[in-house]
């Protein structure tokens, strides 16, 4: 079991930055790939970024590439999402999620919501124009 708690959301202006954190509890955090997803009102939950358990492999959605950076600290059981140059279209509830990362399954696998076993409750990010 892995429990996930996100923090760091808030209301900012376009162009500002935020750093989201996701604190995990559970013995196997370091062996989980950790993903960030987001869901805007009236839209489906979408992939934002993922970091594999070693921390050396990351993927990003095209919409955030170059602006967001995912990282993890396995000693602190925490994954981060640094969000720079925020835009109004980044407004959403941001969720972190975990999946056991024992085998390479192809990059697409890590972008699907159904691949993840554990989810946090989400943190709201609102970007005003």
pLDDT at 27: 66
Largest CA distance in the chain: 42
How high is the pLDDT of residue 102?
81
Question: What distance in Å separates the CA atoms of residue 6 and residue 96, rounded to the nearest whole number?
Answer: 7
Confidence (pLDDT) at 105: 84
- Per-residue pLDDT tens listing for the chain (129 residues): 889 999 999 999 999 999 999 999 986 767 889 999 999 999 999 999 999 988 889 999 999 999 999 999 989 999 999 999 999 999 999 999 999 888 888 889 999 999 999 999 999 999 999
The DSSP symbol for 10 reads E
Asked if residue 72 lies in contact with residue 29, where contact means CB atoms within 8 angstroms, the answer is no
pLDDT score of 5 = 96
**C-alpha separations of 49 from 27, 30, 41, 111, 119 in Å:** 23, 17, 20, 8, 14
């Amino acid at each position: 079991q892995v429990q996930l708690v996100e923090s760091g959301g808030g209301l900012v202006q376009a162009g500002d930055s935020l750093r989201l954190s996701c604190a995990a509890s559970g013995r196997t955090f370091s062996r989980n790939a950790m993903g960030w997803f987001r869901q805007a009102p009236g839209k489906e939950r979408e992939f934002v970024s993922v970091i594999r358990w070693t921390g050396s492999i990351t993927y990003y959605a095209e919409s955030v590439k170059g602006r967001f950076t995912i990282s993890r600290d396995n000693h602190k059981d925490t994954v981060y999402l640094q969000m720079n140059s925020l835009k109004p279209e980044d407004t959403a509830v941001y969720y972190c999620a975990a999946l056991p990362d024992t085998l390479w399954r192809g990059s697409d696998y890590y972008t699907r919501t159904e691949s993840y076993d554990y989810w946090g409750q989400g943190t709201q990010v609102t970007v005003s124009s």
